[in-house]
Structure 1
Amino acid sequence: MKKFICLLLLPLLLTGCAAIVGNGEETVFIDSTPANVPFMITDNEGQITAIGTTPQSVTLRKSDGGYFGKQAYTLTLKQEGYYSASMPLEYRFSRWYTFGNIIFFGVPGWLIVDPFFGGMYTFKEDKIHTWMRPCERGPFNYMCS
Structure 2
Amino acid sequence: MPKEQGQKMVAQNKKARHDYHIEDTWEAGLVLMGTEVKSLRMGRASLMDGFAEVDNGEVWLLGVHIPEYTQGTWTNHSARRRRKLLLNRSEIAKIERKITDKGYTIVPLALYFKDGRAKVEIGLARGKKAYDKRHSLAERQANREKEQAVQRRLKGYQD
Larger radius of gyration: 1
Same fold (TM over 0.5): no
Q: Give the structure with the higher percent helix.
A: 2
TM-score by length of 2: 0.27
